[in-house]
């Protein structure tokens, strides 16, 4: 009887030991499975703590937000300035092109005036050389020759030389008015047209007359009678 009891106690003890062994092994396996999750949880807790520690104050956030808005405004202004610069560049290019065209037109007109001036000089020189007969003088010119005791030939040469000067002055005046965009009522002075005269010298009437440039729409005149362009 005692032996049977001892055997039962031993069996129960073995069963209890086996149960505890299985239970402990199950707990160990569960802990092993949960270990990565526990580590991840600890990591998340540490990151959360760090974020709380490094949290940006509300004032700093406000300042950063304000800086971002200011940056956007500046970028918009830069874009507008670039657009304005592009428009100004186009206007400058258009103005330069217009100036170039105007300069080309002025050069062409100057060349035409020079050709006309040269032709007038040649014609007047031929006319002055051919003035050897009294019938070439008008009645006013003949009266001028008689008044000053000149022969008709000499008077005719002076008249033709004066007319040549008048035409040179008229050509220079018109060229000056064209290049400087003067109105028809503008009256130039001798210094204004000096640059457009040959050798830069203001001509004089060979008979002592005084030249009047007058306004742009009027002819240049001489104070002596008979000294006038036809």
Q: Are the C-beta atoms of residues 191 and 173 closer than 8 Å to each other?
A: no
Report the percentage of the chain scoring pLDDT > 70. Answer: 64
* Residue 24 pLDDT level (bands cut at 50, 70, 90): low
Please, what sign has the CA dihedral across residues 115, 117, 119, 125?
Answer: negative
Question: 162-186, pLDDT tens digit by residue?
Answer: 989 999 999 999 999 999 999 999 9
Q: Are the C-beta atoms of residues 184 and 155 closer than 8 Å to each other?
A: no
> In the numeric block, which tokens belong to residue 104?
């080309």
Question: 94-119, pLDDT tens digit by residue?
Answer: 888 888 887 888 777 777 767 666 66
Q: Collapsing DSSP states into helix, strand and coil, what is residue 23?
A: helix
Average pLDDT, the chain: 76
Q: Where are the domains of the chain?
A: 88-222
**Total number of residues shown for the chain:** 230
Q: Are the C-beta atoms of residues 214 and 187 closer than 8 Å to each other?
A: yes
């Amino acid at each position: 009887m005692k032996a049977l009891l001892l055997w039962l106690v031993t069996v129960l003890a073995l069963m209890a030991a086996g149960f505890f062994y299985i239970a402990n092994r199950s707990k160990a396996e569960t802990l092993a499975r949960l270990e990565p999750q526990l580590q991840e949880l600890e990591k998340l807790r540490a990151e959360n703590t760090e974020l709380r520690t490094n949290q940006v104050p509300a004032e700093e956030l406000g300042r950063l937000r304000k800086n971002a808005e200011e940056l956007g405004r500046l970028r918009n202004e830069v874009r507008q300035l670039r657009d304005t610069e592009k428009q100004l560049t186009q206007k400058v290019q258009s103005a330069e092109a217009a100036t170039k065209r105007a300069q080309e037109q002025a050069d062409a007109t100057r060349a035409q005036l020079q050709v006309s001036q040269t032709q007038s000089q040649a014609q007047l020189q031929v006319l002055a050389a051919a003035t050897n007969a009294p019938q070439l003088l008008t009645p006013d010119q003949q009266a001028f020759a008689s008044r000053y005791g000149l022969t008709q030939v000499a008077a005719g040469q002076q008249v033709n030389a004066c007319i040549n000067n008048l035409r040179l002055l008229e050509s220079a005046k018109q060229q000056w008015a064209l290049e400087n965009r003067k109105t028809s009522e503008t009256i130039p002075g001798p210094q204004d047209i000096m640059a457009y005269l040959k050798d830069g010298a203001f001509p004089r009437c060979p008979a002592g007359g005084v030249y009047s440039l007058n306004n742009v729409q009027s002819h240049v005149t001489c104070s002596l009678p008979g000294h006038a362009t036809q």
